[in-house]
Amino acid sequence: MSATVDFYPSRISAPAGFIPRKDPVVYSDVRPARTCPLTESEIGFYQENGYLCFESLFPEAEVAEYQKELLRLRDSEEVKRGRDVILEPQSNEIRSIFAVHRHNPVFRRLAGDGRIVGRVSYLLGSPVYMHQSRINYKPGIHGKEFFWHSDFETWHMEDGMPRMRAISCSISLSENNEFNGPLMLIPGSHRHFLACVGETPENHYEQSLRKQEYGVPDAESLKWLVDQGGIISSKGPAGSVTFFECNMMHGSNSNISPWPRSNVFFVYNSVENVLVKPFCGLAPRPEHIASRDFEVLKSL
């Protein structure tokens, strides 16, 4: 099948609607080999629900190094002026720093960690490359929400990712609890692609990374997904890791607690699923947001 065929059309005039998933969820053999970093029950859970959570996958000593670098970047005025930095919509605080696996040796090492790469490579059934990396800061009191969305819908329409063969990995660098705006997921939503309404504006990423308004679910479709699968929040101490399928509907509330919430976010795409021209018909998003360097990421 040609990679240029649009199997998941979106950003349509009306109405919004669901398209059945045309791709596998787990690309490797369902029965894992002895050396597989996942158990058979974990693979089955991921297949059914679209996510896996591992509490304290990284020990405190390792997490401390990442936290130190996280704070150094946050407090750097030079970093804040960078093109790959997104600020909060109504303040001068950093919301996200992109392409950290390229420019920062500490997070480059983390991106290639075998505890992560081994798991995603198995689920995707191939070597992987880094589609996107970023640090997400959500400061206490003023940290804004991320509205519900499927990452694949955006990556498909604005980056040209042809098929659902990518996994997001969120690594907690602070405690994520029910009060500070943790990642929320709708289990099972990865099995339904939602075609959204609205034509993509030029340079949409300049606004969507601060507040997304296109490629988001309508209220009726969102309610249907929640009625089917409910909502879970990904909570745990620093060093916990959540893997979730690229078409998973997810979001997070604003943080009005006094406790900041900071995560490192890596997106691993199969080398057999490289980007083509964006399906929205516009120019691709910048390289620091959606990489077109398809070099295999080697596990460290």
* pLDDT given for residue 104 in this prediction: 94
Q: Where are the domains of the chain?
A: 43-270
Count CA atoms closer than 13 A to 125's CA, side-chain side.
14
Q: Band the pLDDT of 41: cuts 50, 70, 90.
A: very high
Percentage of residues in the chain having pLDDT higher than 90: 73
- Tell me the backbone φ, ψ of residue 53, rounded to 5 degrees: -120, 135
Residue 209 has pLDDT above 80, yes or no: no
> Looking at residues 83-91, what average pLDDT do you find?
78
Q: Band the pLDDT of 299: cuts 50, 70, 90.
A: confident
Residue 1 has pLDDT above 80, yes or no: no
pTM value surpassing 0.95? no
270-293 pLDDT, tens digit per residue, is: 999 999 999 999 999 999 999 999
251-262 pLDDT, tens digit per residue, is: 999 999 999 999
> Looking at residues 173-188, what average pLDDT do you find?
96
Instruction: Please count the other Cβ atoms lying within 10 Å of the Cβ belonging to residue 255.
Output: 22
Residue range 43-270 forms a domain whose CATH class is: mainly beta
Q: Is the peptide bond before 59 cis (omega within 30 degrees of 0)?
A: no
Count CA atoms closer than 13 A to 110's CA, side-chain side.
34
93, burial (CB in 10 Å: exposed 0-12, middle 13-18, buried 19+):
middle
> How far is it, in rounded angstroms, from Cα 73 to Cα 76?
5
The answer to whether residues 253 and 146 touch, using CB atoms and an 8 Å cutoff, is: no
